[in-house]
Amino acid sequence: MKVLCFLCLLLQTKLCFSSTTQMLVLPLKTQLIPSGPLSRPPNRLPFHHNVTLTVSLSVGTPPQNVTMVLDTGSELSWLRCNSTRFYQPAFDPTKSSSYSPITCSSPTCTTRTQDFSIPASCDTNNLCHAVLSYADASSSEGNLASDLFSIGGGSEISTTVFGCMDSGYSSNSDEDSKTTGLMGMNRGSLSFVSQMGFPKFSYCISGSDFSGLLLFGDANFTWVGPLNYTPLIQISTPLPYFDRVAYTVQLERIKVSDKELPLPKSIFEPDHTGAGQTMVDSGTQFTFLLGPVYSALKKEFLNQTSRILRVLEEPNFVFQGAMDLCYRVPTSRPTLPQLPTVSLVFRGAEMMVSGKRLLYRVPGEIRGSDSVYCFTFGNSDLMAMEAYVIGHHHQQNVWMEFDLEKSRIGFAQVQCDLAGHRIGV
């Protein structure tokens, strides 16, 4: 596969204060890395991630610096331990006096999480052994453990359970050189945000330079404006295709400009198996819709752009395996033409996608004097997915608040680069 160059967002820690409340703010910075598959737990999203949100923090005693992918679609955090490859960063548990492996008799070892392909078990040393399976058919395994995790220059320190994994990684070596593991941020009991005890967290990603910020705690910024909240969907009965600890919201309608797609409301609701839930996932780059909804959106977007965009007439070209609506745009053109907006209407809130967030320039793909741009909505059916997924590309310039206490997500349109300047990061 051709190696392309994409942007990776790098978070570096900094502690900030407002005049009324203390909060922990982490500014986003950019770094170029080659693309490659990012390993994901089972029952998640089986496609490559070319842009990842990462957070830098320290673990252990004395502290070791690590960089972890911020993923609201996963529960268990893990670190690569004792890497056998010189270019891979790793956490060394033998150098931490506060590191503590978890025995298989511990209640933590029997905690249910969808991140495990099989239940955790005992190894020969009576330690809790876990196996994580990935979309590329590889797997990684290691032991559950706990250690001190420190963020914000040591302002927040907590003993946290994580996976100390040491085998089976197959992701791109250059991407490996940037990250040490994954930070699970969903609503499960073993997620990082649950273990740290934060009642809410927010992030804001800039659409101009991909910078932004991550905030733990209550923002209370009057300049953000009122947030529109949508409740998190709760289902108490276990269903085979429903992730009960994901950030699940109810998508109700989709509009292209002011035209609502002619779809029944029931098509957006999970069925009796749980298939069809709508998840907000920071670990996913783009947004994916079930086949019938994607087809209706594609048809209407094509109709409204027929006079301003030239379709790429290559039926076999499908970007990232699920994005089959692509265009040819002259490389000499400084900006994209005026595009119709796409509005995702949730219960109580609306997210409007406009401008360059609608089309993604595929690096390295040139047709004569034209660049290739693809529609940033994909068909989840092409990936054998059973869910709607709202990726972070469509969360640019949106203040995203995850309120765990009140079980809701808040949206507000914000210029995220200006937000960073206002907070002083």
In angstroms, rounded to a whole number, what is the distance separating the alpha carbons of residues 326 and 358?
Answer: 11
Checking if the pLDDT of 223 tops 80, the result is no
Q: Is 315 exposed, middle or buried (0-12, 13-18, 19+ CB in 10 A)?
A: exposed
**339-384 residue pLDDT tens:** 999 999 999 999 999 999 999 999 999 999 999 999 999 999 998 8
Query: Of 43, 103, 50, which Cα lies nearest the Cα of 73?
Result: 43
Give the pLDDT band of residue 415 (cuts 50, 70, 90): confident
Fold of 222-423: Cathepsin D, subunit A; domain 1 (2.40.70)
Confidence of residue 139 (pLDDT cuts 50, 70, 90): low
Is position 209 annotated as part of the catalytic site?
no
Q: Using one digit for the tens of pLDDT, what is the confidence trace for 172-181?
A: 444 445 688 8
Token pair 């005890």: residue: 197
State the Cα–Cα distance between residues 214 and 69, nearest whole angstrom: 13
* DSSP output for 67-104: EEEEETT--S-EEEBS-SSTTS--B-GGG-TT-EEPBT
Catalytic residue among 71, 166, 218, 417: 71
Transcribe 315-326 into DSSP letters: TT--BTTTB--E
**Ranges 74-78, 142-146, 223-227, 391-395: which has the least confidence:** 223-227
pLDDT of residue 56: 81
The rounded distance, in Å, linking the Cα atoms of 355 and 362 is 16
Written as one letter, the residue type at 422 is: R
Q: Is the dihedral of CA 87, 88, 92, 95 positive or negative?
A: positive
45 closest CA partner among 392, 414, 338, 420: 392
Instruction: Note the pLDDT tens digit of each residue in 279-317.
Output: 999 888 899 999 999 999 999 999 999 999 999 999 999
Whether the per-residue pLDDT at 394 is higher than 50: the answer is yes
Q: Report the number of secondary-structure helices (H) and strands (E) in the chain.
A: 4, 30
Cβ–Cβ under 8 Å, residues 33 and 27: no
Q: How far apart are CA 176 and CA 36, in angstroms?
A: 9
| CA separation for the pair 103, 375 (Å, rounded) | 48
Residues with Cβ within 8 Å of 147's Cβ and at least 6 positions away in sequence, in order, are 59, 60, 61, 93, 96, 98, 99, 100, 159, 160, 162
Rounded-to-integer distance, Cα 243 and Cα 224, Å:
31
Residue 145 scores a pLDDT above 90:
yes
Domain boundaries, the chain: 5-198, 222-423
Provide, rounded to the nearest whole percent, the portion of the chain with pLDDT above 90. Answer: 52
Q: Which two tokens stand for residue 393?
A: 């590309």
Phi-psi region of 193 (alpha: psi -120 to 50; beta: other; left: phi over 0): alpha
> Residue 131's pLDDT band (boundaries 50, 70, 90)?
confident
Preceding peptide of 62 cis, ω within 30°: yes
pLDDT for 240-290, tens place per residue? Answer: 889 999 999 999 999 999 999 999 999 999 999 999 999 999 888 899 999
Per the CB < 8 A criterion, the answer to whether 167 and 85 are in contact is no
Q: Please give the pLDDT value at position 39.
A: 36
Tokens 């997924």 belong to residue? 389
- CATH code of 5-198, in short, is 2.40.70.10
Dist CA 121 CA 130 (whole Å): 7
Closest among 18, 9, 14, 12 to 222, alpha carbons compared: 18
Residue 7 has pLDDT above 90, yes or no: no
Answer yes or no: same fold for 5-198 and 222-423: yes
- Please tell me which residue, 33 or 182, carries the higher pLDDT value: 182
Q: What are phi and psi of 293, to 5 degrees?
A: -70, -45
Q: What mean pLDDT comes out for the span 78-98?
A: 85
Instruction: Tell me the pLDDT of the chain averaged across its residues.
Output: 81
Neighbours of 89 (CB within 10 A): 18
Catalytic pick among 218, 281, 403, 417: 281
**3-state SS class at 368:** coil
178 - beta bridge partners?
none
Q: How many of the other CB atoms lie within 10 Å of CB of 78?
A: 26
Identify the top-confidence range among 110-114, 146-150, 214-218: 146-150
The confidence score (pLDDT) of residue 274 equals 93
48-62, 220-234, 405-419: segment of lowest average pLDDT: 48-62
In the numeric block, the tokens 């990603």 are attached to: 205
pTM beyond cutoff 0.75? yes
Q: In what order do the strands lie in the sheet with 377-379?
A: 248-249, 277-280, 387-390, 287-289, 377-379
Tell me the residue type at 101.
P
Task: Give the ranges where 120-191 is alpha helix by DSSP (H).
Answer: 173-176
Is 281 catalytic? The answer is yes
* Cα separation values, 235 from 244, 264, 273, 274, 373, Å: 7, 22, 12, 9, 39
Q: State mean pLDDT over 385-401.
A: 91
Question: What is the distance of C-alpha 77 from the center of its chain?
Answer: 14
Does position 12 have pLDDT exceeding 50, yes or no? no
Q: Does residue 136 surpass a pLDDT of 50?
A: no
Spatial CB neighbours of 315, under 8 Å, sequence gap ≥ 6:
none
The pair of three-digit structure tokens given for residue 169, joined into one six-digit string: 């990684």
